[in-house]
Amino acid sequence: MGLDTVYATEAQKAKRAAAMSDEAKSAAWAAFLGFFIDMFDVYLPLVALGPASAYFEPPSLSPIGSAILGAMVFIAALLGRPLGALIFGSYSDRLGRKRAAEIAVAGFGVMTLLIGLMPGYERWGMAAVVLVVVLRLLDGIFLGGEYTGATPLAMEACPKKWRGLVGGWIMSGFPLAYLAISFVTMVMLKIAPAGGLHSPYVQWGWRVPFFVGAALAFGWVAFVHLRVAESQTWKEAQKTSTPLRTLFSGQNLRDLLQVFVLMTGFWLVVDVVAAVTPGLLKTVVGLKPVEVTVALMIGNAVAAASYVGAGALSDRIGRRTFLVLWGAVITLGGSATYYALIGANGATLASIYALVAAVYFCTIPIWGLASSYINERFRTSVRSSGFGLGYTLAVVLPSFYAFYQKWLAALMPHKYTAVPLLALGGIFVIVGALWGPETKDVDFD
């Protein structure tokens, strides 16, 4: 064989290695749809069950009590996610990405279906309230298991030159799920209007989005079982029987701590933008509920596009470089646009929508790198555990943002307290990124 033939053969191999195979495409679709369904389920109690909260509440419950109960239903799933990442991450590293993802998604499909079938307080009393919280906790455990299997599988199947783009596309399932659940809920509110306890939406309309979520989960399991192959990288890797012990020792532990700092910034930013902004738009800016919903839908549409763009850009300039640069954008541009949004009371609706879009664009794109970057930080033997725990453990400290705002209110008007938290989130992103290495050329093999 001549040198020309050898070079041609090597060039063909390199071209094939850089192309997205059918196997990689199926895995990428599975991860995207899995994350979409995951976040669809997360938003169900906030968006779909919110207008029907009276169904599970005692008639004499105060507005504060109602808010606390709603928070408990939502937080129960968040508390379950780290536990799910712990359980299913270890399972995925030991027994396979595909199997772990299938079990997890089937599990939260069952939990979602059971909640959709639940009787309310009028029939079961406090037992209904307790059972909904318990089901959401179990739901959260299974939700925490979905991405520990499906996302590493997709990243391991994807050629490294496409990992940023594919990772951003997977993460776009987050805002797209919000758009989807908002659309489904608005349609149901038109078909079955909400009102008192015995109104159509409160009695049965809220159940339809839950049934849709369960059907999506079961359909996903069937798709993955039939169309997605187990990760070849995982099959060929040297495995450990104790992935969690391995993760929490030596260099793996240092990698986890670095990811924890970085993701603390991620979560602090998204808590301000996603959790604080709706109340700000209503009480400070003065938008009506429907206008708030439209504003958030615009913001989430910007987020979905920016995730894909950020992932693709990081394939060219590097993950570390992008995160440092965008951390600075968050600290300066994100804080400035958020400050402007706070003072937008009396502005035209179009101006307010534009400011919301600007806030999302200046802050949220970093999330487009979460899948690719965190998976690239860990070895194959602990990748699912590292990704799952690195992604979820950092949610703890930022979750107390309301308390931080209360403390900051001693120094400034409360409505401005989200601005320094946003800037602090950007600083965490910069520090976390500088602490870690560049990862875009990491070879998973």
In a domain, 9, yes or no: no
151 and 184 in a single domain? The answer is yes
Average pLDDT for runs of 10 along the chain of length 445: 49 55 92 92 83 84 72 78 92 95 95 93 88 91 90 94 96 92 90 88 93 96 95 92 94 97 96 87 88 91 96 97 98 97 94 97 97 96 95 86 89 94 97 97 87
Choose the final residue of a domain: 177, 194, 228. Answer: 228
Do 299 and 328 reside in the same domain of the chain?
Answer: yes
Who's near 264: CB < 8 A, 6+ residues apart?
394, 397, 398, 428, 432
Measuring CA to CA, which residue among 89, 101, 98 is closest to residue 35?
101
Residue in 104, 96, 115 with CA at minimum distance from that of residue 37? 104
Q: Are residue 221 and residue 183 in the same domain, yes or no?
A: yes
The terminus-to-terminus CA distance of the chain in angstroms comes to 28
- The span from the CA of 194 to the CA of 190, in Å, is 9
405 shares a domain with 289: yes
Both 62 and 164 in one domain: the answer is: yes
Q: How many domains does the chain have?
A: 2
Supply the range of the domain harboring residue 194: 21-228
In a domain, 15, yes or no: no
Does a structural domain hold residue 285? yes
Distance CA 218, CA 234 (A): 25
Q: Which of 228, 260, 280 is the last residue of a domain?
A: 228
Q: Are residues 327 and 359 in the same domain?
A: yes
Residue at 69 is within a domain: yes
> Both 185 and 294 in a single domain?
no
221/342 same-domain check: no
Residue 403 lies in a domain: yes
Length of the chain: 445
Which of 411, 415, 287 lies closest to 356, judged by CA? 287
250 and 223 in one domain? no
pLDDT of 275? 81
Enter the pTM of the model. Answer: 0.88
Count other C-beta atoms under 10 Å from residue 61's C-beta. 17
Q: 343 with 378, same domain?
A: yes
* In a shared domain, residues 290 and 383: yes
CA distance linking residue 348 with residue 351, whole number of Å: 5
**Which structure tokens are listed for 148?**
């520990």
Q: Are residues 155 and 258 in the same domain?
A: no
CATH number of the domain where residue 397 is located:
1.20.1250.20
Look at residue 9 in the predicted model and tell me its pLDDT: 54
